[in-house]
Structure 1
């Protein structure tokens, strides 16, 4: 009987280990942006973290060039003040993998020069487990508001952003654009322009046929109708290198802002589409890994019982 208990305990431990391994997720910090001083400030990593779910056992991968960047884990107080004098740990060799071994809040910064002050900082919250998906709740109506003016890219302005299109994707993320709002594009004359294009032209960076082109800064563009709007530049390769912005404009403030990962609906060739897009339905996760773990655990249990007898 004692041997049977030991065997069963060993099987359960192995099953738990397999289940943990199957659930592990690797998060590449900043995705294609990597770990550096981000364009437009700290919003890039805030936006990236907001789109992730971190669970104990997951791994963060910090991709950076050795000698140009580093990564330090620090306390919240050090994170807020960009104080790197006494980090919890410091790594100077990229790429660096960090395993999230406990639930709670984690804070990371770059310690070189003024990198942290310029936005090279990441704060995340790690859960003990993924847990059940919460039931959807009815959205709380948003109080009506007047027209707003948005400075595209804020302090970054309108240019070819370092790090590619994530700069303007991050800027637009979670903003709610309503009919009547105004976009302001700030740039240096004769070095940039603003082109309003179709979705197809935006995706292919083909600016041979544009809806409109503005060449004098600042460009103030009024959002006069609901739908999707696509902006880029006609200057050579500017669009390919990330100078492009896609937004969704809704007719009322009660609408939910679209996700930055929403697939745009087709626009017309002469004007932005009047059809407002919505977030795509999530793809359900396969239960195959869980079934595989359960099946393998049952096999181990049968082997252990046979060994006891």
Structure 2
């Protein structure tokens, strides 16, 4: 009987560990809204992965149009050389879901000629799954002293202390274009207008412009010069990436690239900087257009929405139901 009970307990513990590992997995849509395309620069997908921690069991979702791209896993040597002739694996139907099953470096490219050289490549470092942190124990209640009689107040009563003001908002850092970085994007002028449309910029925030050195720069212009793409008279010019610009004054700020043809092609950003929560978008900003961003060939790449992972509430209910079931089995075997 004791052996059967030990076996039941072992089965329950194994199931609990399996459920915990499955609940902890995270699904990432590669490139977010950029999807899996030729981004026009080698830094796009490196920037997307830079602030993420990938763990064994996580899932990468590559959204692309079947027939236009693929997802090919290669060695580091072939990744650096953009060589897809001897792949570890290859998926040609989009969207492609890849589960990260082992720790270490993983390398993915698109094997369509020219796509990897155009920046359609992703490397991620996967860490082993970690055990969930133990829950802190509830603190002991603080004993309440017995009330005592206070002496009668004399003289002028002390003024009531006002509550301390809430701390001010911390400055934030924004990567312009997110994973796409700073470049001539398929969406034209609407690309950066769409990126800025749902953000509120405050004095003290920082804009980070990511691009390959020698391919772009960042110039700040007046509104008049911005609208006419006249980069002959600049407020400032920065050419060494990554360019970090701290927003020091409130009001409208206008940025573009001084390389020939880049501003007319849509590499321009207008933002409104404010000190309160009543900011409005700049009058010169162009409202974002609907639909997917066109692929480098000129055709429009449909935007594919990744299926969101199951909510933590549903996972918790399933975990509780299975745990109760196994506990019932264990009790039945005991009696």
Fold agreement, TM-score > 0.5 = yes
Q: 1-side partners of 2:115 and 2:94: how far apart?
A: 16
2:326 to 297, 300, 306: 300
Q: Residues 111 and 232 from structure 1, CA distance in 2 versus in 1: closer, same or farther, beyond 3 angstroms?
A: same
1:218 to 209, 228, 231: 231
Offset of 1:303 from its aligned partner? 3.2
Q: Aligned residue for 1:6? A: 7
Q: 1-side partners of 2:75 and 2:44: how far apart?
A: 21
> After TM superposition, which residue ranges in structure 1, 4 or more long, deviate above 6 angstroms?
166-169
TM-score (norm 1): 0.58
TM-score (norm 2): 0.54
Q: 2-side partners of 1:31 and 1:167: how far apart?
A: 14
Q: Aligned residue for 2:32? A: 31
Preserved CA contact (<8 Å) 1:67 1:93: yes
Q: Aligned residue for 1:57? A: 57
Residue 98 (structure 1) aligned with residue 98 (structure 2): yes
Secondary structure at the counterpart of residue 93 of structure 1: coil
Secondary structure at the counterpart of residue 101 of structure 2: coil
Preserved CA contact (<8 Å) 1:160 1:242: no
Q: 2-side partners of 1:48 and 1:20: how far apart?
A: 25
Q: Aligned residue for 2:114? A: 114
Q: Residues 216 and 3 from structure 1, CA distance in 2 versus in 1: closer, same or farther, beyond 3 angstroms?
A: closer
Q: Residues 247 and 287 from structure 1, CA distance in 2 versus in 1: closer, same or farther, beyond 3 angstroms?
A: farther
Aligned pair count reads 225
Preserved CA contact (<8 Å) 1:71 1:108: yes
Offset of 1:43 from its aligned partner? 1.5
Preserved CA contact (<8 Å) 1:38 1:44: yes
Q: 1-side partners of 2:319 and 2:269: how far apart?
A: 45
Q: Aligned residue for 1:244? A: 269
Q: Residues 161 and 125 from structure 1, CA distance in 2 versus in 1: closer, same or farther, beyond 3 angstroms?
A: farther
Offset of 1:300 from its aligned partner? 2.3
Q: 2-side partners of 1:36 and 1:158: how far apart?
A: 11
Q: 2-side partners of 1:195 and 1:304: how far apart?
A: 74
Q: Residues 8 and 215 from structure 1, CA distance in 2 versus in 1: closer, same or farther, beyond 3 angstroms?
A: same
Q: 1-side partners of 2:222 and 2:31: how far apart?
A: 28
1:255-278 deviations in Å (ceiling 9; x for gaps): xxxxxxxxx9666999xxxxxxxx
Secondary structure at the counterpart of residue 87 of structure 1: coil
Q: 1-side partners of 2:280 and 2:58: how far apart?
A: 43
Preserved CA contact (<8 Å) 1:104 1:126: yes
Secondary structure at the counterpart of residue 105 of structure 1: strand
Offset of 1:25 from its aligned partner? 1.0
Preserved CA contact (<8 Å) 1:47 1:173: no
Q: Aligned residue for 1:89? A: 89
Q: CA RMSD in A?
A: 4.4
